[in-house]
Chain A
Amino acid sequence: MSFALPPVLRRVAPQVVTLVAVCVLVTLFFPGFLDLRLSDGRLVGPVIDIVKRSAPVALLAIGMTLVIATKGIDLSVGTTMAITGAVAAWCLDSGLGVGPAVALAIATGLVCGLWNGGLVAIIGIQPIVATLILMTAGRGIAQLITEGRILTFNDAGFAWFGSGAILGVPVPAVIWVVTGVALALLMRRTALGLLVEAIGVNRRASAIAGVNATVLLIAVYVASGLCAAFAGIITTADIRGADANNAGLWLELDAILAVVIGGNSLLGGRFSIAASILGALIIQTIDTGILLAGFPSEYNLVIKAALVVIILVLQSPQFMAEVFFWRRFGRKNLAPDTVKEDAR
């Protein structure tokens, strides 16, 4: 059956199955999980909340997928969110208006990406170290901009990015869907995706083969910075304030987890943006599911960790090979005749 599926669907099938399984699991604990209704011309329901709430991690995961495909990693995305959010709030606070606030926030994200990309591609620092610099130092920059307080604003236009709706769909959801589709098309409808994968497999070989590895490497970090800027704008707009201490805190780890749940290898090479986004949705479904189910908060992280372990174990090729082996072995012992038929 499965060979009838188009390659993209076949690639993301495990993630889709996992997402459905997690949804079923949550529905068992919270029966109203799949309820949807229209209120004030916008869709309301737990599922909509998940699609909206997964925006930051999904956006970070999109950028992170590209970075990881080049055998890199970007630890600074959470901090970049805090900086871009602080810049946006500062612009609004000084009365510059929504347009300049968004533009400056995006520009800040691009600069952060450029900094990381430069350190990795030109100076040749290992990605984990290069991005660690901005991860730790950047929060200080964000705190300098906000002067250590939560910088609030009251601009309905900017708040729209966090809590508005387009045709009933929350704006954050629209932003991550559009960003994901745009980047995926850019990668797959051109040779860019292939070149990025080539760098991840062997940067030197791809450079010798004529790929401009330096420029492409910088570009993927810039793309990651751009995605982080979008995420920063959304979180800042959502709470109508820039919280330099907490915005995006540890989200880089959730983003990496989303990429891993999406079945992408941390060793670079082949990647799937769609699978990473599904990974982000799985994480958010678990988070929201835990909240809806009403467990005591001490269990939150344990439940999340247990589910993630199960998902990753089930995705492990070695584990699955083992399972298939023992299943076949078991059948052989029980009924050798049927094995022959299976083999046919």
Chain B
Amino acid sequence: MKLKTLLATTAAVSLMGLAATAQTVGFSQIGSESGWRAAETTLTKQQAEERGIDLKFSDAQQKQENQIAAIRSFIAQGVDAILLAPVVATGWDSVLEEAKEAEIPVVLLDRRVDSADDLYLTAVGSDLVHEGQVAGEWLVNEVAGEDCRVVELQGTTGSSPAIDRKTGFENAIAGHDNIEIVRSQTGDFTRSMGKEVMESFLQAENGGADICALYAHNDDMAVGAIQAIKEAGLNPGEDILIVSIDAVPDIFKAMAEGDANATVELTPNMAGPAFDALAAYWKDGTMPEKFIQTESRLYTPADDPQAEYENRKDLGY
């Protein structure tokens, strides 16, 4: 893997020497706090490679000052564009103004900032409310009017993915009186909490017999909950429907084994749309929309989960 990257980078560098038109892009990444983030980094590097873009990568290790320093050094190097996955929302004004003065377009990845929107070219990200909605709509169609008591595993209390994914799901099931969220608790986005909280849901709901479906705000909690359901002697995927969000490799493994029913993808490929927008901008100055929403694709067992698992397992999740 590493050798491959090295070879590819060498190839890209030598290509650059040949083609003077190759663009240089600086990428300031937050760090690698989660598997998803690691996959985003891997895919950004891959996308840059495919397009013959020279990517300068900087890992900020969850510190804003490192990101600001990285952006300043990108500006000093005179890169053609900067990709920024901001660790926090505030405090970017002055450094973004510096980039603007240097006429270097900045594209935000995944997270947003509170600065005026003329300070960056565009932002690429997913709509968290929409993700919840896709999950909810799947359940509405799946149960087709039959009564369904849903338990919900929320993300970390107060975090924006938890709030938005909950809102989206509730929007989708609003007006469908047959579907009701009977229990909702935080599982902190982790497997172990997902399992522990699901155990208590099962205890509280007649050993699980009264639960028709589980909605988890991320796949990891769903994977933990699936184990709890199995240990309670029930069959996840059949006795209790499982729908979650993120589309990490392990949920596809569960899906291939018939334990999970649906997942909504939070694509780690934010760089693809960003590079597309940049290519158009470099070519004839086309200004993209201020927010490019990535697709929140729904995956079910019909989508060959085994193949999806194989595709994703090496991305660094």
A-contact bits for B183-225, CB 8 A (1 contact / 0 none): 1111010111001110111011001000000000000100110
Smallest distance from the beta carbon of B125 to chain A beta carbons, Å? 22
Across-interface contacts of B154 in A (CB, < 8 A): 297
Instruction: State whether the Cβ of B49 lies closer than 8 Å to any Cβ in chain A.
Output: no
Tell whether, in the assembled complex, residue A49 and residue B199 are in contact, meaning their CB atoms are under 8 Å apart: yes
* Docked pose: A46 CA to B188 CA in angstroms: 21
Cβ 8 A contact of A150, one of B35, B157, B185, B195: B35
A329 to B108 Cα, complex, angstroms? 69
The residue on A at minimum CB distance from B33 is A245
Partner of A46, one of B38, B197, B203, B233: B203
Residues of A within 8 Å of B186, CB to CB, are: 297, 300
Contacts of A296 in B (CB 8 A): 184
Contacting residues, chain A, for B223 (C-beta < 8 A): 239
Please measure, in the bound complex, the distance between the C-alpha atom of A53 and the C-alpha atom of B231, giving whole angstroms: 14
Q: How far is the CB of A248 from chain B (nearest CB, A)?
A: 9
B195 and A239 contact, CB distance less than 8 A: yes
Chain A: how many interface residues by the 8 Å CB criterion? 32
- Given A239-B224, A297-B185, A300-B157, A245 contacting B34 (CB threshold 8 A): yes
Chain B: which residue is nearest A297 at the CB level? B186
Known contacts A148-B38, A150-B35, A39 near B192 by CB under 8 Å: no
CB-defined A-B contacts under 8 Å, sample of 27: A30-B204, A45-B203, A49-B203, A53-B196, A148-B32, A148-B38, A149-B35, A149-B38, A150-B250, A163-B227, A235-B192, A238-B192, A238-B195, A239-B224, A240-B227, A241-B191, A245-B34, A247-B192, A288-B200, A291-B185, A291-B196, A291-B200, A294-B185, A294-B204, A297-B154, A298-B157, A300-B185
Does the CB pair B190–A148 fall under 8 Å?
A: no
| A40 at the B interface (CB under 8 A) | yes
Q: Which residue of B lies closest to A296 (CB)?
A: B184
When C-beta atoms are compared, the residue in chain A nearest to B194 turns out to be: A239
Add 4 more A-B contacts to A240-B227, A296-B184 (CB < 8 A). A32-B204, A148-B38, A150-B220, A245-B34
User: A243 touches which one: B191, B199, B203, B227 (CB < 8 A)?
Assistant: B191
Which residues of A have CB within 8 Å of B197? Answer: 291
What 0/1 pattern do residues 129 to 167 of B give for CB contact below 8 A with A? 000000000000000000000000010011000000000
Name A residues whose Cβ lies closer than 8 Å to a Cβ of B: 30, 32, 39-40, 44-46, 49, 53, 147-150, 152, 163, 235, 238-241, 243, 245-247, 288, 291-292, 294, 296-298, 300
Is B316 a contact of A148 with CB atoms below 8 Å?
Answer: yes
B317 proximal to A (CB < 8 A): yes
CB within 8 Å for A148 and B35 given contacts A46-B200, A239-B227 = yes
Q: Across the interface, which residues of B come within 8 angstroms of A45, CB to CB?
A: 203
Q: Which residue of A lies closest to B201 (CB)?
A: A291
Q: How far is the CA of A124 from the CA of B38 in the complex (A)?
A: 40
**B199 to A, closest residue via Cβ:** A49
Bound Cα distance A235, B203 (Å):
20
7 closest residue pairs by CB, A with B:
A291-B200, A297-B186, A239-B191, A246-B190, A149-B35, A297-B157, A46-B203
Within the assembled complex, what's the spacing in Å between the Cα atoms of A39 and B207?
A: 11
Let me know if B191 and A150 touch, CB within 8 A.
yes
A45-B203, A152-B250, A291-B200 known; A297-B184 Cβ under 8 A: yes
Which of B32, B195, B203, B220 has the largest number of chain A CB atoms within 10 A? B203
- Alpha-carbon distance between A292 and B316 when the two chains are bound, in angstroms: 36
Residues of B within 8 Å of A149, CB to CB, are 35, 38, 316-317
Chain A contacts of B199 at CB under 8 A?
Answer: 49, 53
| A149, closest chain B residue (CB) | B35
Q: How far is the CB of A16 from chain B (nearest CB, A)?
A: 24
CB distance from A95 to the nearest CB of B (A): 18
Contacts of A298 in B (CB 8 A): 157-158
* Docked pose: A325 CA to B223 CA in angstroms: 55
Which partner residue on chain A sits nearest B183 by CB separation?
A294
- The closest CB in chain B to the CB of A147 belongs to B316
Query: Complex formed: what's the CA distance from A193 to B298 in Å?
Result: 60
Give the complex CA separation of A132 and B157 in angstroms: 27
CB nearest to A298 among chain B residues: B157
Question: 1/0 contact trace for B222-242 toward A, CB 8 Å?
Answer: 011001000111000000000
Residues of B within 8 A of A247 (CB): 192
Q: What CA separation (Å) do A209 and B223 show in the bound complex?
A: 56
CA distance A40 to B220 in the complex (A): 27
Please, how many angstroms separate the alpha-carbon atoms of A149 and B158 in the complex? 25
A39: which B residues are within 8 A, CB to CB?
Answer: 207, 233
Shortest A121–chain B CB gap in Å is: 33
Residues of B within 8 A of A49 (CB): 199-200, 203
| Bound Cα distance from A214 to B196, whole angstroms | 40
Question: For window 15-36 of chain B, which residues contact chain A by CB distance below 8 Å?
Answer: 32-35
Least CB distance, B88 to chain A, in whole angstroms: 19
A310 vs chain B, min Cβ distance (A): 23
* Bound: A294/B151 CA distance, A: 11
User: How far is it, in angstroms, between the C-alpha of A177 and the C-alpha of B185 when the chains are bound?
Assistant: 30
Chain B residues positioned under 8 Å from A44 (CB to CB): 207, 232
Residue of B nearest to A53 (CB): B196
Which B residues are CB-close (under 8 A) to A238? 192, 195, 227
- Given A46-B200, A148-B316, A291-B197, is A239 in contact with B250 using a C-beta cutoff of 8 Å? no
Q: Which residues of B contact A30 (CB under 8 A)?
A: 204
Chain B residue, CB-CB nearest to A291: B200
A40-B233, A291-B185 known; A243+B195 contact, CB < 8 A:
no
Give B193's nearest chain A residue, CB to CB.
Answer: A246
Task: Give Cα A147–Cα B185 distance, bound, in whole angstroms.
Answer: 30
